[in-house]
């Protein structure tokens, strides 16, 4: 998963998959869900993100990281 913020357009994109988007649906004003060809969610686009969420308070918790067996570091 990748989270990208684009300040020039004030949009936040949450990329959930490397699969290409085949269909999009606006589920709420300025919130678009992207789907792949099989109907799986691949991304979420939030327009005017700074007006909808507190960007300074984004955090991730309880994310299950896998250890890399080669270097024994968190990936």
pLDDT at 71: 52
For 47-56, the pLDDT digits (tens) are: 999 999 888 8
The answer to whether the predicted template modeling score (pTM) of the entire model surpasses 0.85 is no
The answer for residues whose C-beta is within 8 angstroms of residue 11's C-beta and 6 or more apart is 5, 45, 46, 47, 48, 49
């Amino acid at each position: 998963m990748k989270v990208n913020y684009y300040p020039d357009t004030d949009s936040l994109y949450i990329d959930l998959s490397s699969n290409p988007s085949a269909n999009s649906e606006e589920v709420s004003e300025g919130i678009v869900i992207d789907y792949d060809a099989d109907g799986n969610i691949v991304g979420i686009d939030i327009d005017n993100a700074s007006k909808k969420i507190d960007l300074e308070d984004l955090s991730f918790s309880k994310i299950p990281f896998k250890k890399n067996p080669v270097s024994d570091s968190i990936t």
